[in-house]
Chains A and B, each alone.
Chain A
Amino acid sequence: MLKYIVRRLLLIIPIVLIVSILVFLVIKMIPGDPITIMFGKNANAEQIAYVKTLYGLDKPLTEQYFTWAGNLLRGDWGSSIQSGEPVFQMIMERMPRTIALCFCGILVALVISIPTGVACARRHNSMLDLSLTIMNLTFISIPGFWLGMIFMLIFSVKLRLLPTSGYVSAQESLTGWMQCMILPTITTAATFFASLSRLMRSSMLEVLQQDYISLARIKGNTNGRVYYIHALRNSLIPLVTNIGLTMGYLMGGVVVIEKVFAYPGLGLLLINSITQRDYPLIQGILLIFAIIIVVINLLTDLAYMLIDPKIRFGYKKT
């Protein structure tokens, strides 16, 4: 198992390499550059040209790439052109916040989707199944950020229960942190709990047709145990796959949610850095995103191992 993990982690290297090249090229293709933006309307061409040489932006693309990649290998992620801060530091400050948001979002989504999916499967084709299905379909069709704004309107503006935006670190105040996290987390969860719930439902329906479920009942298990112990473990595999696939999508969605809630995570930093064409920062953030997604895929596969013993032990037979 350890060998497997190590092998998967090594895979990060070629992936990151390819991503770095793609990211580098794509950003350079966008019109506009950070120096012109920095100077804004008061620019003059000579000043701009001069500052560009300071940042090495006048050199040919391949040279720029290799300089950046070379520095990266030495652990130097470069500095933001706009603020001068080291990119790595800027990313590390914000990454835990974005990961916390994604993680909490997934957790809340699972907490909602698993029971609703199971409930739908249990009372297959009943009114409950019908209404939950409709609710799910509605949520699948609603764009996440719109939902976020509605929640904000209700809970922050009208009811004044939660803050509209901002962030309080957990060290400062645990309750403050939780209050800031609630709306963005629910919005994140809402963007995909519905499809998870549908998946849980269909997966469980399939599992419930199996003989071992009948046997579990014959043995005398309560309904609760039949669904949540016997059936659930076998139904989770498609769910785990889905979460792994959704993660990439989720990272994109989180960017929007961070903007709406002014949540100071990687997503917000990415938007700002793109607006300002802050190349080192954009490249650094996108690279981190790629690494995070690879790691999450690895974790997904590890999760399979927990759930499915066949994968854990290999297909050995006694």
Chain B
Amino acid sequence: MEQNICLRVNNLQTSFYTDRGVIHSVRGVSFDVRKGEMLGIVGESGCGKSVTAFSILNQVKHPGKIDSGEVIFHGKDLLKLSESEMRKLRGSSMSMIFQEPLTALNPSFSIGWQIAEAYRIQGEKDKAVIRERTIDILRRVKLPEPELRMKEYPYQFSGGMRQRALIALALACKPELVFADEPTTALDVTVQAEILDLIESLQAEMNMSVVLISHNLNLIGERCGRVLVFYAGKIIEEAETAELFKHPAHPYTVGLFGSLLSIHQDGKADPKTMPGEVPNMLDDIRSCSFAPRCPYAETRCFEREPELVPVGPGHYYSCHRPLKGGAK
């Protein structure tokens, strides 16, 4: 694997085996995460973006199961590792910032204890050192009076403080790769920016790779260097952010931009919603998953699923229709 690639995912497939049937959440996702980059993953709810992250961390909840695929990290396929090997690897190198901090923090233990535990697991035995490091990380996430905050419990914090604490928890052991799953969705708009600034600055400080997952295209556009667009369990477009915003190739991506309210436009807010709905994930999808909603759909779109094909340097999309240069 190349030197600057932190994580490589090959054809990851994850399904949920429910009483009503099998839901194929992730239907063959492949991508790389480069060292030190902020990679954005955007898509609607249910498109499989969070499940992808959970699959990589092997935290898919029952009745979900990873069907196949490879997750190469530090030269090893994580999905083939034993429980204990996985554990060793995870704590020190990969972490996650959850969407809802209230459920991601254990209500029965103090914040300080939960953060300190990360250090203890890493092998730090000296109580004084642990305490220092805990206070330090809390300070870094800009929590006021960290010595006092340490002893408090999650329910005593406000939303924004909780998310900071959660970030502290995720970053306590200086991981190489962090997944941030909708880290600001549960927060007020004013706080959102602060949190994202915080993540950015910490990323620079600790030289981490961050995978930022969101349904908010604007947010992704502001913060990430590269973007993956998910739809119905697959990546349907992949590009550098600037390129994507200038030349969105896939009809879905185009539709996404069309539905954005942007202040940069001429004051006339005229969002175009995309007709139709996300496909029922219980069905086996043989054709292009977006075809039913696509204004450009042809017969072949309903017959077979398109592959990811290059459109430009580092820019791929999966669609049968060739691009005639520029947005459609």
Contacts and interface: CB of A to CB of B under 8 A. Distances in A.
A233 B118 contact: no
A171 interface: no
A315 B153 CA distance: 11
B97 to A, nearest CB: 9
A59 interface: no
13 contacts: A212-B103, A212-B104, A214-B54, A214-B61, A214-B96, A215-B105, A215-B170, A223-B83, A233-B109, A308-B108, A309-B110, A317-B157, A318-B149
Nearest to A215: B104
Contacts of B105: 212, 215
B121 A233 contact: no
Interface stretch (B66-74, B86-94, B229-237, B250-258): B86-94
B156 A316 contact: yes
A78 to B, nearest CB: 48
Interface string A175-212: 00000000000000000000000000000000001111
A220 B83 CA distance: 10
B104 A309 contact: no
Nearest to B91: A220
A11 B83 CA distance: 52
Interface residues of A, dominant DSSP: helix
A250 B132 CA distance: 50
Interface string A285-318: 0000000000000000000000111100101111
A318 B152 contact: yes
Given A211-B100, A214-B54, A215-B169, A309 B91 contact: no
B158 interface: yes
B127 interface: no
A217 interface: yes
Q: Among B59, B87, B98, B106, which residue has the most Cβ atoms of chain A within 10 A?
A: B106
Interface in A223-273: 223, 230, 233-234
B15 to A, nearest CB: 17
Contacts of A307: 108
A216 B113 CA distance: 12
Contacts of A222: 87
B77 interface: no
Interface residues of A, number: 27
Nearest to A212: B106
Nearest to B105: A212
B107 A317 contact: no
A219 interface: yes
Contact of A234 (B104, B108, B156): B108
A313 B54 CA distance: 35
A211 B121 contact: no
A211 to B, nearest CB: 4
Contacts of B92: 220
Given A307-B108, A309-B153, A221 B117 contact: yes
A28 interface: no
A217 B88 contact: no
A217 B59 contact: yes
Contacts of A308: 107-108
A218 B90 contact: yes
A318 B94 contact: no
A19 to B, nearest CB: 36
A230 B106 contact: yes
Nearest to A125: B62
A218 B122 CA distance: 12
A160 interface: no
A316 B155 CA distance: 9
B108 A215 contact: no
Contacts of B83: 223
